[in-house]
Structure 1
Amino acid sequence: MEDRNDYYTTKEVAALLNKAVPTIYKYVREGKLTPLPDHKWRMQSTRLFPKDQVEELKEKQGKKFGLTTSEAADYLGITRSTLFRFIKEEKIPSVKGTLRGREVSYINEEDLQRYVKENFDYLEQERIKKRTFYDKKQNIAFYQRFSSPEIEEARLIWDEKGEWQFLLLPSRKVVSYNEGIYKYDLCPYYSLTYGKNLTSPGFAKVTLPLNHPLTMQFIDLVYQQCDLSNVYIDLNEAFPHEMSEMSLLLKNTIFDNTNETISQYVKMHLVEGSIQINSESMRIESDEVIFTLHMSKMLKDQIKRSAEEQRISMQEIANQILMEHFDLLKRREN
């Protein structure tokens, strides 16, 4: 008989792997575990398993086979529910593994990179819906201005763990959110409204340097005069100390009570869209417009199928068709 130190009983294996005893029976049927040959005649509950085999299986179960669903969702900039839908629809492959004794899904980073490359435009739309710059529960947003009798200006930022902090100006001292609220008595300089989505298509895009006073002034205009449902802020890096700029996507908006300095500053950093400036207001608009087409149901169904196959919107398919048409006309003219 083998030395007692060389084997585990069925119950010991279950405890070591953090599994129920029936799961160990299942592992035997699947070939993941094999009882000691001289003891296969025993009842299942008293079978013995080689220690090295059991410990090897435990090590495999503890290994990470890729990114977790939370990590993958953060990687793509989407919600976990959207990621689970992609997995269910088999758009992104996943494998099962064990993490801290429970079964979880893992996703290979190469599969995520491939999905990003093939579905960039779609992911951009999903990221816009997520609005990571805004904490809806607390109704606060990145770079929102706070103040108190002692502190004239403080800006909300977050730390490496994603926890809210205050950047006190002009000293640039950073304090925790609770310290800012309870020690310095900081209060919002203005309130935020989420509002309803505008039906106008597309966004204008403005990319501004961080830590610039005019960037902060424009953020204040955005937060005071826009519903956040029509705003998206893309923070290029995870942490404030690593970021150099921020990109704002805005639905068609008229900003009132703007001065010439702010207006020209925004115009200089406009990446997409158009801007019109007068003495006291600034109008920012997307380059996209609504164009209504009447077509047969058969043609609409063809466009819909093509959009589903390419994983893009019907609008993008229509734009592709029109662009190809005019490119062909241009080549014929040349």
Structure 2
Amino acid sequence: MNDWYTRQEVAELLGISKATVYHYAKQKKIIKIDDPHRLIREARYQKEEVDMLAEERKRHQPTGLRPSELAKQLNVATQRIYALIRETDLPVDELPVGDERTIYSIPAETAEWIRQEIERTTSSRGTRMEFYDAKFDIAIYQRFRTQQGQDMRVVRNSNQEWGFYLPSQTWIPFADGMSIFQYEAAYPIHQPNHSVRGYTDFSLPKDAHDTFEFLDFVYHVWGIENIRIREQDSHIDLSIKSGSVTIPIPIPEALTEGVIKKYLVLGDIMMSEGQWTLVSGYRRTTFDLPNHLLDELQGIAKKKSLSMSEYLEVALREKLEREESID
């Protein structure tokens, strides 16, 4: 066994960059083995000091979650976790790593607060990662076709794995469907990203055949870039970016205006030949308020675990209902 480590080995043992290893040697935290005649190509460092430093770091290593680990658990971007760390006064352990960065460790109490906050502020609309898999470039319930012309739909099993169920309830993993059985997508699912002007919301019952006809049509026309989907037990929540869109494909006969409008839950839709206009169920507005009143409203909303917009909507609805009852 060698009594030394290479620079790469030191970096891996201590969880630091190779540049930081160099600085540690300059600061005498570890000892570099002199090689005045440059007989060895890569720098070497005495094993004993490196092992002692690694052991010391291990003893003082916080036991909480890294931001990236918590983000993965909660199915959110790591940047979202860092933003919430900055917003709370709850404790977060900081572990310096070398001279250029810091590792954060999130204790259980803080992690639980972050979980609750993300759950509280999660949009009622699905996020893309809920219905789209970037690795396979597929979307939930997307229609595929066998070599014999039979239609199959992408689903996830109880282990959240992507694949297909045959009518016999046989499970076919997605990779096998592509490589062994050579299933092919029935349509593209990507379109240019539209600017957000609000969303028009639909609720599609899973036991209706035209639900999946509509979903195929939406995937093809709007693409995954302009929709949000959240799967529920009995229905599918579908949100489409509002605005006008040209319809480049024939509209399935099953998708009559009456069928589509019966699935609307918020907003409106206007149909003309070759073009549909989706109207958002919300309209952004602005108004001026005295600072003290704005502060009071923010405080009440926070106590009720609502955003300012959510609280104002609730309060205005209650006020309007009282006015109507008086009339």
TM (norm. structure 1) is 0.58
Choose from 71, 77, 80 the match for 1:79.
77
Choose from 282, 288, 302 the match for 2:282.
288
Q: Partner of 2:202 in structure 1?
A: 205
5+ residue gaps, structure 1, are 1-18, 33-60, 237-242
Are residues 304 and 250 of structure 1, via their aligned partners in 2, closer, same or farther at CA, if it must alter by over 3 Å? farther
Q: How does 1:274-285 map to 2 (within 5 A)?
A: 274-275=268-269, 284-285=278-279
SS for the counterpart of 1:143 is coil
Is the 8 Å Cα contact of residues 143 and 216 (structure 1) preserved in structure 2? yes
Q: Partner of 1:224 in structure 2?
A: 220
Is the 8 Å Cα contact of residues 67 and 104 (structure 2) preserved in structure 1? no
Are residues 115 and 213 of structure 1, via their aligned partners in 2, closer, same or farther at CA, if it must alter by over 3 Å? same
Q: Partner of 2:106 in structure 1?
A: 105
Are residues 224 and 326 of structure 1, via their aligned partners in 2, closer, same or farther at CA, if it must alter by over 3 Å? closer
SS for the counterpart of 2:181 is coil
Q: Partner of 1:39 in structure 2?
A: none
Q: Partner of 1:252 in structure 2?
A: 242
Q: Deviation of residue 204 (structure 1)?
A: 1.3
Question: What is the distance in 2 between the residues matched to 1:326 and 1:161?
Answer: 42
Q: Partner of 1:177 in structure 2?
A: 174
**RMSD over equivalenced CA pairs, Å:** 4.7
Q: Partner of 1:22 in structure 2?
A: 53
TM (norm. structure 2) is 0.59
SS for the counterpart of 2:113 is helix
Q: Partner of 2:183 in structure 1?
A: 186
**How far does the alpha carbon of each residue in 1:81-121 deviate from its partner, in whole angstroms, 9 at most, with x for none?**
31232123327765689xxxx9953444642454256xx3x
Is the 8 Å Cα contact of residues 69 and 80 (structure 1) preserved in structure 2? yes
Corresponding letter in the other structure for 1:286: S
Give the structure with the higher percent helix. 1
Q: Deviation of residue 178 (structure 1)?
A: 2.0
Question: What is the distance in 2 between the residues matched to 1:329 and 1:103?
Answer: 48
Question: What is the distance in 2 between the residues matched to 1:309 and 1:194?
Answer: 42
Q: How does 1:1-334 map to 2 (within 5 A)?
A: 20-22=51-53, 69=67, 72-73=70-71, 76-90=74-88, 104-108=105-109, 110-112=112-114, 114-116=116-118, 120=120, 122-124=121-123, 128-168=126-166, 170-209=167-206, 212-236=208-232, 243-252=233-242, 257-260=251-254, 263-275=257-269, 284-291=278-285, 293=286, 317=308, 320-321=311-312, 324=315, 328=319, 331=322, 334=326
- The alignment of Structure 1 onto Structure 2 pairs a total of residues equal to 261
Is the 8 Å Cα contact of residues 128 and 232 (structure 1) preserved in structure 2? yes
Corresponding letter in the other structure for 1:163: E
Are residues 320 and 95 of structure 1, via their aligned partners in 2, closer, same or farther at CA, if it must alter by over 3 Å? same
Are residues 22 and 244 of structure 1, via their aligned partners in 2, closer, same or farther at CA, if it must alter by over 3 Å? same
Are residues 128 and 244 of structure 1, via their aligned partners in 2, closer, same or farther at CA, if it must alter by over 3 Å? closer
Are residues 184 and 288 of structure 1, via their aligned partners in 2, closer, same or farther at CA, if it must alter by over 3 Å? same
Is the 8 Å Cα contact of residues 191 and 225 (structure 2) preserved in structure 1? yes
Question: What is the distance in 1 between the residues matched to 2:169 and 2:273?
Answer: 33
Question: What is the distance in 1 between the residues matched to 2:229 and 2:271?
Answer: 23
5+ residue gaps, structure 2, are 1-49, 96-102
